[in-house]
Amino acid sequence: MAANVRVNWGKLLSRILLYFAVVFICLFILYPYFVMVCTALKSRAEIFAMDGTIFPKVTMWSNFIDIWKKAPMAKYMGNSIIIAAGSTAIAMICGIPAAYALARMKFKGQTAFLGFIIVSQMFAPVVLLIGIYKVMQILGLTNSLLGLIFINAAFNQAFTIWLLRGTFMSISAEMEQAATIDGCNRVQAMFKVLLPVAAPGIVTTLIFIFINAWNEYTVALCLISTETIKPLTVGINIFNGYNMIEWQYLFASSIFAIVPVVILFMSIEKNLASGLTAGGVKG
Amino acid sequence: MKKILALLLALTMVFALCACGSSSAPAAEAPAAEAPAAEAPAGEKVTVTMIAAQYGPKTGDWWVDFEKKFEAANDGIDLVVDCVSWNDIYTVVNTRIANGQAPDLLNIDVFADYQADGLLLPAEDWCSPETYAKFYPAFLDQSVVDGVCWAVPDLASARAIYYNKDILEQAGVSVPTTLDELVTVCQAIKEKCPDIYPWGIDMTTDEGQAAFAYYTWSYGGGFVDADDNWALNSAENVEAIKFAIGLVNDKLTNSDPANNTRYDLQDLFCAGKLAMMIAPNALSQQAGDAGINYGFAPIPTVAGGSVSAGVMDRIMCFDNGQSAEQMAAITAVVDAFYDDEPYSEWVLMEGFLPATSAGGEACAAADPAMATWIDIVGSAKFYPTAKAEWADVKQGVIDVEQQALLGGDVQELLDALQAEIAG
Amino acid sequence: MKQKKPYTHLNKTEPYLWILPSIILMAIFIIVPIGFVFRMAFSQVTKAGLIKGFCGFNNFAKVLSGAKFGMVLKNTIVWTILVVGLSTVLGFILALILNNEFKGRKIARAIVVFPWATTLVIQASVWKFIINTDYGALNTLLKTLGIIQQNVNWTPTPEAFFAWEIACGIFVTIPFVCFTALSGLQSIDASYYEAATVDGANYWNKLFKITLPLVKPSLTVATVLNIIYVFNSFPIVWTITKGDPASRTDTLVTYLYKLAFYNGKQGEAAAVSVIGFLILLVCASVYMVSTLKKGDE
């Protein structure tokens, strides 16, 4: 009896600690966003006022409306979605077979290929700009969304392949072998057996690429010059003028830029959790 | 061991591809050079490309509007203006130039590097005599290299001391007319209003060269000597920078001059937290909107006179092997831009000063405060941007200021810089 | 845990067909641009960016003899080690917390995504705004709470500025580590823990004997990629200080950016990036060789 009570106390304490930690961490992470929202709701004068307050004294909801009038926000957002979704699709189309080959086949140059992938990441995009522009010029893709889609897909190959390779390797190959005995070819076995089981890993990878492509700034800045095909990250620079930075607008538009990503994540997170319990097969 | 070999293999691949890259480069440049020639017969429209600096929130819209109006009036010309923010314009322009994709027209602050590489066309090739005659001659002189003018000014801004009348009144002082007075005024403000920064200094990578200009010009020094040779370590300059650093060390300025940009200072000024700063005329509008009771005065010198600092941006034309037809189109764009009415509208829109005498008269007539500024800019000193080493000098003096803020010896730092630039 | 590979009766060319799309994609859009960087590093480049012939190791010599290069390199190493090290530890701990079942886990996980879902430029702008001496949100918050009376200058020295930049770097890197670790954690079979509990293992035993070894492979890759990304990270330092004052807060990437686009020395800038590449290559190969070797056993 006594032992029982002690166990419950320990459990309770660890529960309390857990909740405490979670709340603390969430508050900490949210703080910059809290600042962003409060600033976005202030007037310009109030942001820099001497007797600054945490919350706006006069709440300027109009800031959130103004940005849609001052900049083609909807267009920017649409472009960002096209770029991020397109990059994710291409990165997956190229990455899944490569990861599959690395996880399931043995071939010469395997390690060299893995090394090649890592090496491809070792230059900052800022450094590669001039070369990227040249490639785009040869392909006729400067100032086009398609060019950006390819670039983002390429930059995310390392992520895609490494993460998927790990996922595939942690899944036993036995089921696929069984499927081939039943008459599936390799491609069918991959689609029908491996990919559904690997769904959680694939979803994680999808989110990674989508977010990275969504946030890309440097290359988009140099490749895109037409206002109507700018992504959000580049477009909102309109509030960053020669004489002053319009913090309230910059932050208001940035909040809109976060929303789609968080919605996407929340809609996928469910699959992530349920998929994982279903797919806990370990080799 | 195998893995190390593999990585080495990957590395050699990079090198091999690099070799391919360099050998294929000339081939890639060829179609770019052909493009303009191929365009002319194919389409009836002549395309003029332009990169314009984004001066403020209204600039982009103004250019879109200008494009529409221009194309409506000039049937055969397709004008493509690309508006880029100041944060990114050098990255964008240099990337394009390195790839042989220079725009026809460029609106930016510097020109000497492009001219040194033979990328520009002389102004007389693309600027009609009527338009050319409109500019203040002193402004055109700033873009002359080897007796040829390579760029025309698009606008100017002049700098003066902005002061918060209320704060100065509260401290019982008036606006300083000499540098000694500046110190006493700052001390008085610090004493009476301890929460307020008396004086604003910006020594950041953004615009630290401006501070160098203000103080050295005040002391009778500057970037160059009378023969237009670099004279960065002159005795006057050393004194001037020591004076500025002294203000910081005596806590008479904003808290972090190496990181507070002029925009930060302007925001502080408009919030009433900064009593005085040197700023361009565009601050008038911002400070007025913020309800600050401001005034402006010329920058004092050590001798008791005044000096005015000017900043000027330019429009230049790149040599892309344009056809005669294209050149005519470019001239038409330039003429339309400097047409008195749209031009004064453009200049006033973001609060700058015109670079043409007609524009100046129009602006002065519209606003008496503007007349003062146009006088100031007429006698202003400019950065030596026509000199090839300017980019290095600019970064160099900023570095000297920041090292001095960290406790470095001004004389030694300037000697080293002078040796590096001129030696 | 040796992986048994099926389909040993492979057609020799088949694996290469599977990796071909990926190779083509990377070769065109990354490796060719990298080639241009190498070409520039060994060429004389004019201020406007035109290449005027081969110049051997001239650019490298100029860079290495530069007065600031040593300091910038040191900054970069400090930056990389602190950001990667601390964010890996903190991200892993966060993953352990979020791996528990609790009410609101979904929301908590979504919140952790926030720093990652924000463009770095904006993220860094917010931090700059928060720590500002004169109108910063942190001072306002502490004043409102009555903890301080006067505005505090949070960045009195270059080192303090750099520390804030590192903090910001950690803040934005944690979600990446956290979710990589989380996906590793979730694929651990619960039976391992059950068996260990039967054997009388406590929480820490389980953490170090089961969890860490099993999560390690996924964390290893994440760490290698992280080292590379953090080493090359540009927007945070650029937005907050631009390397000011006097390069005290510069990292290699901000330093070379200034060289290329402010000083017009694109050849030297390319040389800096090649040097950075070589450093990364050495570190990554040492790390990969040692960890992969262990992993293969």
User: pLDDT tens digit string along B296-343?
Assistant: 988 888 877 788 888 889 999 999 999 999 999 999 999 999 998 888
Domains for chain B: give ranges and CATH numbers: 45-156+312-378 (3.40.190.10), 158-310+385-422 (3.40.190.10)
- Cβ–Cβ below 8 Å for C27 and B17: yes
Task: Note the pLDDT tens digit of each residue in A55-72.
Answer: 888 888 888 888 888 888
Residue C35: inside a domain: no
Q: What pLDDT does A270 receive? A: 63
Query: Which CATH number belongs to the domain containing residue C173 in this structure?
Result: 1.10.3720.10
Q: Decide which of B365 and B254 is more confident.
A: B254
CB nearest to B402's CB, from C46, C245, C281:
C245
Exposure string over A15-37, b if 16+ CB within 10 A, otherwise e: eeeeeeebeebbeebebbbebbb
Does B28 reach chain A within 8 Å, measured CB to CB? yes
Question: What is the C-alpha to C-alpha distance for residues B69 and B28, in angstroms, rounded to an integer?
Answer: 36
> What would the mean pLDDT of A31-44 be, rounded to a whole number?
90
pLDDT at C165: 95
Mean pLDDT of chain C, nearest integer: 86
Helix or strand (DSSP H, E) at B283? helix B283-289
Task: Give the nearest partner residue to B14 out of C34, C245, C247, using CB atoms.
Answer: C34
A122: tokens are: 């070792």
* H/E segment holding residue B42: helix B2-42
Q: Per-residue pLDDT averaged across A18-46, rounded?
A: 91
Neighbours of A50 (CB within 10 A): 13
Q: Does B28 touch chain C (CB under 8 A)?
A: no
Residue pLDDT, tens place only, C92-104 = 999 999 988 888 8
Instruction: Reduce the DSSP state of residue B381 to 3 states and report it.
Output: strand
Chain C residues close to B9, C-beta within 8 Å: none
Query: Among A168-172, B144-148, B297-301, C251-255, which stretch is predicted with the lowest mean pLDDT?
Result: A168-172
Cα separation of C90 and C58, whole Å?
A: 43
Q: Which chains touch B (3 or more CB pairs under 8 A)?
A: A, C
Q: How many residues does chain A have?
A: 283
What's the number of domains chain C is made of?
1
Distance CA A134, CA A140 (A): 10
At B2-47, the pLDDT tens digits run 444 344 344 334 333 333 333 333 333 333 333 343 344 445 789 9
User: What are the pLDDT digits (tens) for C173-213?
Assistant: 998 888 888 877 877 777 888 888 888 888 888 888 888 88
Rg (CA), chain B: 24
The pLDDT of residue A38 is: 92
The angle at the Cα of B195, spanning B192 to B196, to the nearest 5 degrees, equals 80
Contact in structure between B384 and B223 (CB atoms under 8 Å): yes
Whether the predicted pLDDT of C160 surpasses 60: yes
Tell me the H-state helices in chain C.
14-26, 32-41, 58-65, 69-98, 105-117, 120-131, 137-144, 158-186, 190-198, 203-206, 212-231, 235-240, 252-261, 266-296
* C3 pLDDT higher than 50: no
> Residue range B395-410: average pLDDT?
94
Residues 374-413 of B with CB under 8 A from C: 388, 391-392, 394-395, 399, 402-403, 405-406
Cis peptide before C245 (omega within 30 of 0): yes
Q: What's the pLDDT at B375?
A: 78
- C chain contacts of residue A204, beta-carbon cutoff 8 Å: 179-180, 183
Instruction: Select the highest-mean-pLDDT range: A62-76, A107-121, A205-219, B159-173.
Output: B159-173
Distance (Å, whole) CA C162 – CA A204: 32
The more confidently predicted of residues B182 and C295 is B182
Contacts C261 to B, Cβ<8 Å: 90-91, 94
pLDDT value of position A275: 40
The closest alpha carbon to C183, from A198, B5, A242, belongs to A198
Share of chain A above pLDDT 90, in %: 22
pLDDT at A7: 62
pLDDT in tens, B108-127: 988 988 998 899 999 999 99
What is the predicted pLDDT for the residue at B7?
A: 41
Opening angle at CA C151, ends C150 and C156, nearest 5: 125
Predicted confidence at residue A65, as pLDDT, reads 87
Asked if the model's pLDDT at residue A122 lies above 60, the reply is yes
The reported pLDDT for the residue numbered B269 is 93
Q: What CA–CA distance (Å, rounded) separates B89 from B107? A: 10
- Residue C259 counted as domain residue: no
Please tell me if residue A109 touches chain B, with a CB cutoff of 8 Å. yes
- Collapsed DSSP state (helix, strand, coil) of residue B155: strand
Q: Which of B7, B99, B164 to mutate: most A Cβ within 10 Å?
A: B99
List, in order, residues 6 or more apart from B75 with CB less than 8 Å away.
Answer: none
User: pLDDT value at position A5?
Assistant: 52
Average pLDDT of chain B to the nearest whole number: 84
**Cα gap C238→A103, rounded to integer Å:** 39
pLDDT at B18: 39
Query: What is the chain C residue with the closest CA to B405?
Result: C245
Residue A269's CB is within 10 A of a number of other CB atoms, namely 18
Mean pLDDT of C257-269: 86
Nearest partner of C168 among C99, C118, C100, judged by Cα: C118
What per-residue confidence (pLDDT) applies to B324? 92
CB contact under 8 A, A221 and B91: yes
Of residues B46 and A197, the one with the higher pLDDT is B46
- Read off the pLDDT of residues A216-226 as tens digits, 9 standing for 90 and up: 888 888 788 77
Q: Cβ contacts (< 8 Å) between C246 and chain B: which residues?
A: 258, 399, 402-403, 405-406
Chain B contact for C247, CB < 8 A?
yes
Q: Which of B8, B233, C154 is nearest to A116 (CA)?
A: B8
Residue of C nearest to A279 (CA): C187
Q: Confidence class of residue C80 from pLDDT cuts 50, 70 and 90?
A: very high
B92 interfacial to chain A (CB closer than 8 Å) = yes
Average pLDDT over residues B285-301: 88
pLDDT of residue B163 exceeding 90, the answer is yes
Provide, as residue numbers in chain B, all residues whose Cβ is less than 8 Å from the Cβ of A244. Answer: 56, 263, 266-267, 286
Name the pLDDT band for A283 (thresholds 50, 70, 90). very low
Cα distance between residue A38 and residue A252, in whole Å: 9
- Runs of H (alpha helix) within chain A: 2-40, 44-47, 62-70, 73-104, 110-119, 125-139, 145-155, 157-169, 174-181, 186-189, 195-197, 199-215, 218-223, 232-235, 247-278
CATH architecture group of domain A70-278: Orthogonal Bundle (1.10)
Bridge-partner residues for B155, per DSSP? B313
Q: What pLDDT band is residue A272 in, cutting at 50, 70 and 90?
A: low
Instruction: Supply the mean pLDDT for chain A.
Output: 83
pLDDT at A110: 85
pLDDT band with cut points at 50, 70 and 90 for residue A31: very high
Helices (H), B306-384: 324-338, 340-349, 357-366, 368-378
Predicted confidence at residue C10, as pLDDT, reads 59
Burial of B194 (0-12, 13-18, 19+ CB in 10 A): exposed
Of A188, A160, A162, residue with least CA distance to A175:
A188
206-265 in chain C: CB under 8 A from chain A: 217-218, 221, 224-225, 228-229, 232-235, 253, 256-257
Residue percentage of chain B with pLDDT more than 90 = 48
